[in-house]
Structure 1
């Protein structure tokens, strides 16, 4: 009986050692945990989520999609998230990310090269760029990242071409509009002709509104398009002066994702001219 008790005690000790990792080898459970990547905004979170294998990574965006990057104040909780992340990714010039003061190899800063990444061609370039960078950081998932890139590019090209055809089919290709400078590139991609543009709400004066309205009358602008992150009512006075539709678009993907947001932007423009 005593011998059996000793054997049981030894077996229990060995089992406990295996379960607690006494062998010095990493536990399987630890390797299967999701790794967190923190990014500046929802454009980057959407791209990175589409590239990485599901279930292995969690991607969190700091900036809420409807907020202006220049007006966002980084929080202590944001900094803590970034410190714990296996990788942080941001666009160059995102001041709230720079205020976090992080400077280590786990930080990846992307140069947007003056392009608006809500435009499908720029978004596709972003997919290619980030696929290359992520493969360097996570070489064990390089094959899955390459596969995710090809699949995402096919989907974006197919859906974006259909949206342009939708605008063309509605007879709006080449139609003049006045717009926030942040929406100029997306509108031109859709086929509209931007005859005048303006900046943020704080830079708008009565004199500027009247100047832009005069351009709109001379050029036959059919609508005024605002960017929600720059101020949803910035161009409202111009639209009222012209008695033209006022439309508000977003420059960052909503929670529904990039392609759904792109379609919502197009649909908002089409709905405005039907009214």
Structure 2
């Protein structure tokens, strides 16, 4: 895989050069600075902060895992023209380092923003880090806009805390894909176990998780969209746990174009699943109660039938004795 990528880069670089030549008539004075972001986590924040001040280009589409990103000549060209590249860190050795070298852009500013982003504290850190770097690089204050974004995050946080308390999510046991574990724990759920990418899960591990879900009465199996959802769906079908799919990248699902919207969407998916699980559990309890009542009625009916038989026998004996006396 690495060898193939290294062989591909010279060809990509050549195609990028041709692309540069095709754009050579564009006046540099009229061009906006280009900011390249490796994922929509970064680009959604940058776009909201800079507005029309720059052109923002994202490399990895939100529906896929960055590990499976296929480099395109147009992306190499974008990197060659970029003033700044925002990246997480994990993708640097995978493909970004070679991509930058192939582009020939030695002046590009690299800004690493790492760590979890799908909980409130992580999201705040991403916003302030990106805003601070943009302010320094472009000599413009983006911190005021960042404060507004953080206020919106905190408002969503209040909604999440209130709803989580109302639904008593701390009492709800779940199993989740490990890329979503920090978010699910942030909401307050009892994460009993977690699992890695589906393609790395052995049959033995799958059987262990299935047995755990049945034994512990696990309510939810939570998948990460970008990692694949077939494993969680299979666990759900075998155990009866509710299957929930969350997204780790903004814009992968309609209505999640920003980090704030993504966090709210994921929280609502979990809350809806808890409500569904509670509804099903209540229905099962009602059915169990009704079955118990039916069994009680059956027992009472048997007793009544037995007493009726005894009474009938007594009446028959009495009639027989009366006839004998005559």
Q: TM (normalized to structure 2)?
A: 0.69
Q: Which runs of 5+ in 1 are unaligned?
A: 1-28
Counterpart residue number, 1:104: 106
Q: Distance in 2 between matches of 1:38 and 1:133?
A: 14
Tell me the SS of whatever aligns to 1:38.
strand
Pairwise CA RMSD: 2.0
Q: Distance in 1 between matches of 2:275 and 2:191?
A: 20
Counterpart residue number, 1:15: none
Counterpart residue number, 2:135: 135
What displacement does 1:270 show? 2.3
Counterparts in 2 of 1:174 and 1:110: CA distance versus 1, 3 Å: farther
Q: Which runs of 5+ in 2 are unaligned?
A: 1-26, 277-326
1:202 has 2:199 as partner: yes
Q: Distance in 1 between matches of 2:107 and 2:162?
A: 44
Q: Which has the higher contact order (CA 8 A, sep 6+)?
A: 1
Could you tell me whether the CA contact under 8 Å between 1:226 and 1:248 is conserved in 2? yes
Counterpart residue number, 1:271: 272
- Quick check: 62-71 or 263-272, which moved more? 263-272
Counterpart residue number, 1:224: 221
Counterpart residue number, 1:16: none
Q: Distance in 2 between matches of 1:158 and 1:216?
A: 34
1:167 has 2:167 as partner: no
Counterpart residue number, 2:75: 78
Tell me the SS of whatever aligns to 1:63.
coil
Q: Distance in 2 between matches of 1:262 and 1:36?
A: 27
Count of matched residue pairs: 241
Q: TM (normalized to structure 1)?
A: 0.81
1:88 has 2:89 as partner: no
Counterparts in 2 of 1:34 and 1:274: CA distance versus 1, 3 Å: same
Q: Deviations over 1:132-163 (max 9, x none)?
A: 22222111x1x2x1211211111111112212
Q: Deviations over 1:24-79 (max 9, x none)?
A: xxxxx976653221100011112222322x22112121111110111112111111
Counterparts in 2 of 1:222 and 1:110: CA distance versus 1, 3 Å: same
Could you tell me whether the CA contact under 8 Å between 1:92 and 1:109 is conserved in 2? no
Q: Which structure has the larger Rg over C-alpha atoms?
A: 2
Q: Distance in 1 between matches of 2:55 and 2:64?
A: 22
The structure where helix makes up a greater share of residues is 2
Q: Deviations over 1:226-260 (max 9, x none)?
A: 00111121222222222111111101111622122
Could you tell me whether the CA contact under 8 Å between 1:38 and 1:88 is conserved in 2? yes
Q: Deviations over 1:176-198 (max 9, x none)?
A: 10000000001011111111010
Match of residue 35, structure 1, among 23, 33, 36: 33
Q: Distance in 2 between matches of 1:147 and 1:93?
A: 30
Q: Distance in 2 between matches of 1:196 and 1:80?
A: 43
What displacement does 1:167 show? 2.5
